[in-house]
A = this chain, B = another copy of it.
Amino acid sequence: MKGRVTLKDIAAAAGVSASTVSLVLNGKIGSRVSAATVAKIRDIAENLHYQPDINAQRLKGKALPIIGLVVPNITNYFYSEMTKGIMDAGANAGYNVILLNSENTLQGEQLAAEAFLSVRVAGAIVCGVCEPGTEESVILEELKRAGIPVVKIDRCEWNEKYPRVMIDNYQAAYDSVKCLHRLGHRKIGIIATTWDLGIMNAREQGYQQAMKDLDLEISESMIYRKKSYDLTDEEADEIADDISKHLNRHTAILAIPGDVLAIECIVYWKRHGINVPDDISIMGFDNVYMGSIIEPALTTVDQPKYEMGKGAMELLIKAIEGRSGAKRLVYQYQIIERNSVRNICASE
């Protein structure tokens, strides 16, 4: 006794066959079923709280109204906001979301791919892992081979074959440097990563190019690198500490891994008596809610997370339904100037 109400139950209650019930409930009656029967069936279905079994429907060729989503970590506001956009756009179109955290791990992403394959999701949205290896594309290929459309979001290469949703990370970093420059900064350091991630490389290149174009000098000592993928671990403190020991090297730091790391630095510096932005300026990336709360409020590059999520879902739905969509959706970023960057020009 599983309690689920099936077509048969309704058929039995209505004294008709299951196929008639199916016809009625799917509205596929060109005035072929008597009005009385229709009413009775609808009524019973309502009373019994009938919900079609989408698994059985899928067996008959209908796509499952479920899509898979992998993000590194749902606990991070950046991804949860994005996820909400995805879910909302999905709900509008009747799609539900199976959510998985990859923990920035190839294995996590592999597990997600397997789950998606098993579930026979209608499509998948992937915010990829950092861990290097060609295997990531292998996983995506697997989904593709199985006929599951994939849309990548945030973490993707500017040029690649998968449909993807992103901002122009290169240009955003470029503009960030220009912003710092406009505020009078000349010695601009960067917290970069060792991650094998297109968007991080793009941001770093944007930084390099901007520095070059502005005739500013870069030395290796101004480039700090985050190795671990966790933005709030001891390594964050180490980097913050390292920077604080060389305050003369730079007046401003661009934290390209994102706001969470920038915030971690600010917190660390505060604890150690280093003033932001007087002793050091810092600029983040992503525009996370916390950045507007912390003191000083964080200057950052806003990514329209929610909208990007929505866009990704809409793109995916197009792909699922066989309509062609864009190969690349580029959203506008926006530099939000707050108080974590000192205006050197003004103060002199």
Contact surface of A with B, Cβ cutoff 8 Å: 1-5, 49, 51-56, 58-59, 64, 66, 73-75, 77, 80-81, 83-84, 87-88, 91, 96-101, 111, 114-115, 117-120, 142, 145-148, 263, 267, 289-290, 293-295
CB <8 Å contact, B293 and A267? yes
CB <8 Å contact, B117 and A49? yes
**Cα separation A5 to B59 with both chains bound (whole Å):** 14
**Cα separation A91 to B100 with both chains bound (whole Å):** 9
CB <8 Å contact, A49 and B142? yes
A332 to chain B, nearest CB (A): 21
CB <8 Å contact, B3 and A146? yes
**Cα separation A294 to B118 with both chains bound (whole Å):** 44
Cross-chain pairs A/B with CB under 8 angstroms, 30 sampled = A1-B147, A2-B146, A3-B145, A4-B117, A4-B146, A4-B147, A5-B146, A49-B145, A51-B117, A51-B118, A53-B120, A54-B118, A54-B119, A55-B56, A55-B120, A59-B59, A73-B84, A74-B74, A74-B80, A74-B87, A75-B81, A75-B84, A84-B101, A88-B101, A96-B100, A97-B99, A98-B98, A99-B99, A267-B293, A293-B294
From the candidates B58, B100, B114, B295, name the one contacting A55 in the complex (CB within 8 A).
B58
CB <8 Å contact, B80 and A75? yes
**Cα separation A52 to B119 with both chains bound (whole Å):** 9
CB <8 Å contact, B263 and A293? yes
CB <8 Å contact, B117 and A91? no
A319 to chain B, nearest CB (A): 14
**Cα separation A81 to B145 with both chains bound (whole Å):** 34
CB <8 Å contact, A87 and B66? no
Known interface pairs A80-B80, A83-B99, A290-B293; 5 further A-B residue pairs with C-beta atoms within 8 A, sorted by A's residue number: A5-B146, A53-B118, A55-B58, A75-B80, A98-B98
Q: What residues on B are CB-neighbors of A101 within 8 Å?
A: 84, 87-88
Q: What residues on B are CB-neighbors of A117 within 8 Å?
A: 4, 49, 51
Q: What residues on B are CB-neighbors of A58 within 8 Å?
A: 55
Known: A146-B4, A263-B293, A294-B294. A100 touches B87 (CB 8 A): yes
CB <8 Å contact, A98 and B66? yes
Most chain B beta-carbon neighbours within 10 Å: one of A118, A146, A294: A118
Q: What residues on B are CB-neighbors of A114 within 8 Å?
A: 51
**CB nearest to A117 among chain B residues:** B51
Q: What residues on B are CB-neighbors of A64 within 8 Å?
A: 55
Q: What residues on B are CB-neighbors of A54 within 8 Å?
A: 118-120
Q: What residues on B are CB-neighbors of A5 within 8 Å?
A: 146
A96 to chain B, nearest CB (A): 5
CB <8 Å contact, B66 and A74? no
Most chain B beta-carbon neighbours within 10 Å: one of A4, A64, A263: A4
Most chain B beta-carbon neighbours within 10 Å: one of A98, A111, A114: A98
Q: What residues on B are CB-neighbors of A100 within 8 Å?
A: 87, 91, 96-97
**Cα separation A289 to B293 with both chains bound (whole Å):** 12
